[in-house]
Structure 1
Amino acid sequence: MDFVKEALSFGFANAAVVDVKELSFVPEYRQFCEENLCGCYDKIPACPPACGTPEEMRDKAQAYEKALVLQTVLEHPENSPAVFKKAKYDQNVLTEKLAEHIFPSREDNYLIMSAGPYKTHSCMSAYGVDAQKMAESAGMVCWAGDSDVRFFSLVLYHE
């Protein structure tokens, strides 16, 4: 199955497969969780500190070989926290549906890193993933100096 083609058919703006070893993990990015902008820090098991230390999260991710990088784009959105929260939620729902489609009955063979905490899935910040470097590895734009807002999620899997 062509995972990128499937992702695009599901409605993602961009998708790419990269080696997990290309992901850059920065433990200091845990500070984004500790700032509690999403309101979930120390409240749900998918978020720090309950989800594990940055090192434990990195090790969990590095147990996989491949990462399907998924992106959606809000073009010129209004600057509204509610709009951004809904876009993250939509990204997470779409990511979970895609993972279930690609890996039916193989839930133990993949790991979702969500765009903000979602159900039992920890977000990329909890893992300490450097989104800019990840986007570059995937041939995508993360920050472009425009008004568009780009959201990312990952599905890590075994080859």
Structure 2
Amino acid sequence: MMSEKYEELKQKALACGFSHVGDLDADTIQVKSEVRSACAENKCQHYNKNWVCPPGCGTLEECSRQIHKYSKGLIVQTTGELEDSFDIEGMQELGERHKEAFHKFAAVVREEYPGALVLGDGACDNCRECTYPDAPCRFPERQSSAMEAYGMLVSEVCQQNDILYYYGPGTLTYVGCILVE
């Protein structure tokens, strides 16, 4: 990607509402079976229930191959302050803010880079009930798996790319990434 166009993409990410945007070098991404295993514990209640979570998103090897077709991209973050560690409402509001920014930015990225890999921070919520595994996804052009579903340890990906993951006491950060070339 030409650096001028890359810088424009960063500015577009910030304009969509993210707090932080950083460069992502795909060579720094390691997929980890222990991260994928955490998905299988099904604490989020989405494992084996939709196309963007394991096993619907592919094997860890398939995810790794898909990631490493690219050389670089962006890490996008939404950071906010919470009243305290029990501020569930604040966490949900911040999560919604991140999701809104992420959906906006994903649309921009997919328009400019149709082959981009867009990875968010949770299960798909495009449909009330997913077609998985009986029928193809209704909206494949809007799909985005979680970084964790692809086996990424998000804090490590941020650290390896010199972007903070922890912004201090009383803060929470939601993270997503895109790979574009």
TM-score bracket, shorter-length normalisation? 0.7 to 0.9
Aligned ranges 1:1-159 → 2 under 5 Å:
1=5, 2-77=8-83, 79=86, 83-85=90-92, 87-104=94-111, 106-107=113-114, 109-118=115-124, 119=126, 120-143=143-166, 146-158=169-181
The Cα of 1:138 is off from its aligned counterpart by: 3.2
The Cα of 1:82 is off from its aligned counterpart by: 6.0
CA deviations on 1:81-134 (whole Å, 9 max, x unpaired) are 565455434423322321322442643x10111111224211011111121221
The DSSP-based 3-state class of the residue aligned with 2:34 is: helix
d(CA) in 2 for partners of 1:121 and 1:53? 15
The DSSP-based 3-state class of the residue aligned with 1:56 is: helix
Unaligned runs of 5+ in 1: none
- Give the TM-score normalised by structure 2: 0.75
Greater mean alpha carbon deviation, residues 75-84 or residues 131-140: 75-84
Q: 2:25·2:161 contact (CA, 8 Å) conserved in 1?
A: no
Q: 1:77·1:149 contact (CA, 8 Å) conserved in 2?
A: no
Q: 1:96·1:112 contact (CA, 8 Å) conserved in 2?
A: no
Structure whose CA Rg is larger? 2
d(CA) in 1 for partners of 2:90 and 2:47? 21
- Give the TM-score normalised by structure 1: 0.85
Q: 2:109·2:116 contact (CA, 8 Å) conserved in 1?
A: no
Q: 2:82·2:91 contact (CA, 8 Å) conserved in 1?
A: no
Amino acid at match of 1:153: G
Unaligned runs of 5+ in 2: 127-142
Q: 2:70·2:179 contact (CA, 8 Å) conserved in 1?
A: yes
Greater mean alpha carbon deviation, residues 14-23 or residues 94-103: 94-103
Amino acid at match of 2:95: K
> Number of aligned pairs?
157
d(CA) in 2 for partners of 1:38 and 1:26? 19
Q: 1:19·1:67 contact (CA, 8 Å) conserved in 2?
A: yes
Amino acid at match of 1:156: L
